[in-house]
Amino acid sequence: MDDLDHRVRLAAFQWLRAQIDLHGDVLPHSILIEGFVFDGIRVPLLNPQGIFKPRVLADAPLSIRTAAEGPYADSFTSGLLRYAYRGIDPDHADNRALRVAMARRLPLVYLFGLVPGKYLPIWPVYIVADRRSDLFFDVAVDDEQFANAAGRGDDSLAEDRSVIRRGYVTAAVRQRIHQRAFRSRVLRAYREQCAICLLRHQELLDAAHITEDSSPEGEPTVSNGLSLCKLHHAAFDRHFLTVRPDYVVEVRQSVLDEVDGPMLLHGLKEMHLRPIALPHSAILRPDRQRLEERYEFFQRIP
C-alpha cells in the first residue's frame, strides 16, 4: 500500500471513530456524505453507487455500502459477509476496483444500511474471495486495532493468524449487525418514541423483544418488538408490566399496591390500562399471539 493510500484510509478510520464516539455507532447519511477533509480535499465516505472511490485515491475503493432497501442481496455465507457485485457484469469498473483492493489486501469501510438513511460503519473489512460465477465477493472483518498495519506485511504465519482472527471478529460483527438492525427497524416503526410513555430521546430508547431473542421463536422481526424507553424496557423484561394482546398496558398488582416515590407512581402505576402507541402499518404491529403467550406467563406471577 502506498503512503498516500495508507494515510487516507487511516484518516477515514480515525474520523469514523470520532463520529461514533460523538453520535453512537449508527450514523446518518448526512454525516457520511459530508465526510472529512484530507490535505484540503473533502473525502466523503459514500456515493449512490455502493462501491466508492473518492478522488483522492488512485484506483481502489475506500468503502462499500449496502442500502437497507437496495436491489442487492448482501448477506452472510460460510461465516463471511457476502457483498454482491455491481450489476451482473463481472468486469464492471467497480467490480474490477474491488479486485484491486483484494489483490493489495487493502482495508475498506463497510457501511451496512439498517434502515433508509442510517448505516452501521464496520472497519477494517477485506475482500478475501471473488465468487465470479455467483456474482459476489466474500468480505471478512478484522479488529480495528490491526488497521494501522493493514497491507504492510507478507508474513505467511501472520496471514494465517489474521484469517483465524477475522473469522471470530466477523462472527461477532454479524451478531452486532442483527442487533442494530432490529433496534433501528423497531424504533423507526414506532416513530422513534416509547410505545408506553411516548418518550422521544433516541439515546434512551431500546427495541424490546416480546419473545426473548434467546428463544428459537425469538426472531428479530419488527412484529416481535416494542420500542420502549429504558425504564419500561427493564420493567417489561422483569414483568413489572406487560402489554396485553389488545395493546393495553397492564401493571402487576403487587406493583400497584406498593408505596414508593414519584418514579413508581408516574413511571409505572400511571401506565396501567394505557393503550400503547402502535406502528401505522398493521404488519409491523406486535404479534398478538406472542403477546398472548407473554400475558399468560405474566398472569401467573404473584
Query: pLDDT by residue (tens digit) across 247-301?
Result: 999 999 999 999 888 889 999 999 999 999 999 999 999 999 999 999 999 999 9
Residue 28 reports pLDDT greater than 60: yes
- Last residue of a domain, which of 187, 203, 226? 187
CA–CA gap between residue 35 and residue 12 (Å, rounded)? 8
Beta carbons of 226 and 195 less than 8 angstroms apart: yes
Give how far Cα 145 sits from Cα of 25, 123, 182, 300, Å. Answer: 17, 10, 27, 49
As a dihedral over the C-alpha atoms of residue 141, residue 145, residue 147, residue 149, rounded to 10 degrees, the angle is -130
Residue that terminates a domain, selected from 187, 213, 237: 187
Assess whether 180 and 242 both reside in one domain.
no
Is pLDDT of 150 > 50?
Answer: no
> Is the peptide bond preceding residue 90 cis, with omega within 30 degrees of 0?
no
SS3 percent helix, strand, coil of the chain, rounded to 5, is: 40, 25, 35
Q: How far is CA 104 from the centre of its chain?
A: 28
pLDDT (0 to 100) of residue 74: 55
pLDDT of residue 153: 42
User: 207 and 94 in one domain?
Assistant: no
For the segment 69-94, the average pLDDT, to the nearest whole number, is 76
> Structural domain of residue 271, as residue ranges?
194-299
Which of 17-21, 75-79, 293-297 is predicted with the least confidence, judged by mean pLDDT? Answer: 75-79
Q: CB pairs under 8 A, 24+ apart, for 232-236?
A: 232/194, 232/196, 232/197, 232/267, 232/271, 233/206, 233/208, 235/268, 236/208
pLDDT tens track for 184-220: 999 999 999 999 999 999 999 999 999 987 666 657 8
Q: What confidence tens digit (pLDDT) does each residue in 34-61 have? A: 999 999 999 999 988 889 999 999 889 9
Q: How many domains does the chain have?
A: 2
Listed residues 118, 153, 187: the one ending a domain? 187
Does 241 share its domain with 260? Answer: yes
The predicted structure's pLDDT at residue 99:
96
| In contact, 190 and 277? CB cutoff 8 Å | yes
169 and 132 in a common domain: yes
